[in-house]
């Protein structure tokens, strides 16, 4: 008699899902300037609120700017005197290339215009510029130091940021803004000695992520040096890591969890 094989009781192994069926978020493509403007303003309001959550706010100092997608010599900035944590997309102010308010009902920080407008003019590919007086960024700036490649995250800034090695007081004139823009050069960030950090990106998301990441890298660097003698990542490995993690696209991707947190917990920012 032929023995009938008994089922093993095991199911077949799950088949791999084709990669093209998996969700992977990428920067949106907008059909109209109005749609893109709305998107940038929402992201700008969200970034300001995230900066507030992260402690990157000091009185009325600090600002994030976003280039208007239609009027490219105009920039959206946070309203002067409004706490970052309360800013909404509808409260943002648009200024022209001369620093004059062309849309909105608030004043703007003149330092925002003096610095940010010159950076935007020098870097036409830059959509957003972020600068606040964050604690660890200011501490590193007081030392006149660059971010060293002590960690994987720090490698994103390796040989891709600069030091503006001067301090002459509150920046209120265009010439000082031009000098800061020149120091920034083609990089993603500049450390303003005795002042703080400034970052740029091809989206609000990227500029905001670079600022928050640079602030954390500053914190880690200061802590590591205080604890002992930190070990530098070798240049070859730092360059390779920067090439993997240092693009604005990677910054945008890293920023998305933060955007979802703030937009879902504080949906009024979209108004």
Higher pLDDT, 108 or 45: 45
6 pLDDT higher than 60: no
pLDDT one-digit tens code per residue, 7-43? 566 788 899 998 888 888 999 999 999 999 999 999 9
181 contact partners, CB below 8 Å, separation of at least 6: 115, 118, 119, 121, 122, 123
Q: With 70 as the cut, is the pLDDT of residue 156 above it?
A: yes
Q: Are 206 and 178 within 8 A, CB to CB?
A: no
pLDDT score recorded for residue 114:
84
Percent of the chain with pLDDT over 70: 97
Contact 157, 239 (CB under 8 A): no
Per the structure block, which two tokens stand in for 187? 């990089």
Model pLDDT, residue 11: 84
Q: How far apart are CA 140 and CA 164, in angstroms?
A: 13
> Across residues 74-98, what is the average pLDDT?
96
Give the confidence band of 4 by pLDDT, cuts at 50, 70, 90. low
Tell which wins on pLDDT, 184 or 175.
184
Residue 99: pLDDT band with limits 50, 70, 90? confident
Mean pLDDT of 130-138: 97
Is pLDDT at 119 greater than 70 in this prediction? yes
Beta bridge partners of 197: 132, 191
Annotate 116-147 with b (16+ C-beta within 10 A) or e (fewer).
Answer: bbbbbbbbeebbbbbbbbbbbbbebbeeebbb
Q: Hey, which bits of the chain come out as E strands?
A: 63-67, 75-77, 93-95, 101-103, 128-132, 161-164, 189-192, 196-201
Note the pLDDT tens digit of each residue in 34-72: 999 999 999 999 999 999 999 999 999 999 999 999 999
How confident is the prediction for the chain on average, in pLDDT?
A: 94
What whole-number distance in Å separates Cα of residue 59 and Cα of residue 78?
13
What pLDDT is attached to residue 2? 57
Number of residues in the chain: 271
Find the range with the poorest average confidence among 20-24, 71-75, 91-95, 127-131. Answer: 20-24
Which stretch of 47-51, 85-89, 174-178 has the lowest confidence by average pLDDT?
Answer: 174-178
Q: Which domains does the chain have, with CATH numbers?
A: 31-266 (3.40.225.10)
pTM of the model: 0.93
Predicted local distance difference test score (pLDDT) of residue 218: 99
Instruction: Please indicate whether residue 137 or residue 172 has the higher confidence score (pLDDT).
Output: 137
CB atoms within 10 A of CB 106: 14
Exposed e or buried b for every residue in 43-70, given b needs 16+ CB within 10 A? bbbbbbbbbbbbebbeeeebbbbbbbbe
């Amino acid at each position: 008699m032929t023995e009938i094989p008994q089922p093993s009781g095991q199911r077949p192994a799950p088949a791999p899902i084709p990669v093209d069926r998996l969700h992977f978020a990428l920067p949106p493509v907008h059909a109209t300037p109005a749609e893109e403007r709305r998107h940038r303003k929402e992201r700008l309001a969200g970034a300001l609120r995230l900066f507030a959550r992260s402690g990157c706010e000091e009185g009325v100092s600090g600002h994030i700017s976003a280039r208007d997608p239609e009027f490219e010599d105009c920039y959206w900035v946070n309203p002067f005197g409004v706490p970052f944590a309360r800013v909404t997309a509808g409260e943002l102010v648009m200024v022209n290339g001369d620093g004059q308010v062309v849309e909105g009902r608030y004043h703007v920080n003149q330092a925002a215009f003096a610095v940010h407008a010159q950076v935007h003019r020098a870097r036409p590919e830059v959509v957003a510029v972020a600068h606040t007086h964050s604690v660890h960024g200011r501490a590193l700036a007081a030392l006149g130091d660059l971010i060293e490649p002590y960690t994987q995250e720090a490698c994103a800034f390796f040989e891709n940021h600069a030091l503006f090695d001067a301090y002459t007081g509150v920046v209120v004139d265009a010439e000082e803004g031009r000098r800061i823009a020149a120091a920034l050069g083609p990089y993603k960030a500049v450390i303003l000695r005795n002042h703080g950090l400034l970052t740029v990106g091809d989206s609000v998301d990227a500029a905001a992520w670079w600022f928050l990441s640079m602030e954390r890298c500053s914190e880690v660097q200061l802590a590591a040096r205080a604890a002992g003698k930190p070990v530098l990542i070798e240049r070859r490995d730092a360059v390779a890591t920067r090439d993997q993690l240092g693009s604005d696209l990677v910054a945008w991707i890293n920023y998305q969890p933060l955007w979802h947190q703030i937009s879902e917990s504080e949906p009024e920012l979209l108004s």
